[in-house]
Amino acid sequence: MKLARDHVTHLLNALYTEGVTTVSVKHPCTDIGELLSIDIADPVDTTVKFTQGALTYQDTREEIHTKYGERAYNDLPDAETYVRALVAGTLVDVENHDAVETFFRRHGYPDLDAGHQPVALGVDTNLMAYRMPDALQLDPERYSDDNGRSPVNGFALTTGVYEELNWHYNHYETRSLEDAFGPEFAQLDDQPAGSNREGILGLYEYRRLRDHRYADTIESETGDEAIVDAYAEYDTDSRKRVILLSNDHGFVERARDEGLLAQHVSFPVDIPRKVSVTWDELRDVLYTLAVLFGVLKLPKVTLYGVWNGKSGEDWQRQRLDVDCRSENVEMKLRRDRAITTEYEATQ
């Protein structure tokens, strides 16, 4: 069954109504096992306990390398990517949250009525997969201050970043992954492999911002120098101020040398033992983790972030493939999805 990211909360509800109050999120490989555990007994105050923090997960991944070899090791996201996925789902904050917030309070939130220049946000390649406009509450369609002013007024996207994201490496033979991780990985045939799944997430985030937000597209070549030069020209000629975000200190320094506003975004080295979140945040992080790991096992269901035959439309609409191991869960999930889909079609 195909399930869009926005509808993953229906899955949590189906499990909840079936009496499942603890959702264990596991990799199918028993050598990796549980990543996190979700207590959904109280939908208003949901607790997530991280069975594997970043450092523990890193050790687990190294053991997979020793036991199963390079291909299985490379198919798993590294520890840094694991943490970034949790940031993308807003379960965990960026490490320098206060510095980023102070930066935007100083340089963002323009008062257009007072004649301030509009602000356009540019996101570097290394952050694009992790939904920074949402994770940092910068999306002008969703966030504003008490005076009704948005942190930025739109986006500025270079074609160089798009080209850096637009590369492909697919699995054409999955037997080694099946041997290492289990039969579920047979379904990953001819689908993005390993870190390419992170790139695909970034590619479709770029397209989402370009196609569904107010965004200017700026022609540029690839590489930091060309991208920064294109932003500098845009900043001079567009009558807009550009603010750039990057995880690369070199990119930020180069941008500042060109007179641009730029802020480094850093990620935590490790994560807390537990956090309290909403189901919407769980929706986002389960989607992202399922894509990056390829397959996740939950009670009564298996989530496929990639599967044989996953189309461009599936990527664009951010769909998972849900294999229900419980008829009751499948029935409830189909019912809720149908009701929501019918409602959305009338809006």
Task: For residue 163, name the pLDDT band (cuts at 50, 70, 90).
Answer: very high
Look at the pTM and tell me if it is higher than 0.85: yes
pLDDT, tens only, 226-238: 999 999 999 999 9
Tell me, what's the pLDDT at 319? 95
Contacts of residue 161, Cβ cutoff 8 Å, sequence gap at least 6 = 123, 124, 125, 128, 206, 220, 227
CA nearest to 169, candidates 188, 190, 150: 190
Task: Give the Cα-Cα-Cα angle 276, 277, 282 (nearest 5 degrees).
Answer: 135
Phi-psi region of 22 (alpha: psi -120 to 50; beta: other; left: phi over 0): beta
Helix (H) or strand (E) holding 233: helix 224-237
Task: For residue 279, name the pLDDT band (cuts at 50, 70, 90).
Answer: confident
Between 342 and 220, name the one with better pLDDT: 220
Contacts of residue 182, Cβ cutoff 8 Å, sequence gap at least 6 = 28, 29
**265: three-class secondary structure by DSSP:** coil
pLDDT, tens only, 129-159: 999 999 999 999 999 998 889 999 999 999 9
For the chain, percent of residues with pLDDT exceeding 70: 97
Task: For residue 222, name the pLDDT band (cuts at 50, 70, 90).
Answer: very high
| Neighbour tally for 225: CB within 10 Å | 14
CA nearest to 80, candidates 57, 102, 103: 57
- CA separation for the pair 86, 119 (Å, rounded): 28
Tell me, what's the pLDDT at 343? 60
pLDDT, tens only, 196-217: 899 999 999 999 999 999 999 9
Q: What is the mean pLDDT of residues 12-31?
A: 94
CB 78 within 8 A of CB 293: no
CB 242 within 8 A of CB 155: no
Task: For residue 190, name the pLDDT band (cuts at 50, 70, 90).
Answer: confident
Tell me, what's the pLDDT at 214? 95
Token pair for 206: 């770029």
Tell me, what's the pLDDT at 173? 78
Residue carrying structure tokens 């399922």? 290
- The DSSP line for 59-83 is HHHHHHHHHH-HHHHHHS--HHHHH
- Does the pLDDT value for residue 172 go beyond 70? no
Tell me, what's the pLDDT at 278? 87
b/e per residue, 108-140, with b = 16+ CB within 10 A? bbbeeeeeeebbbbbbbbbbbbbbbbbbbebbb
- CA separation for the pair 222, 212 (Å, rounded): 24
Task: For residue 115, name the pLDDT band (cuts at 50, 70, 90).
Answer: confident
Domains of the chain, CATH where assigned: 2-92+270-345 (no CATH), 99-166+197-264 (3.40.50.1010)
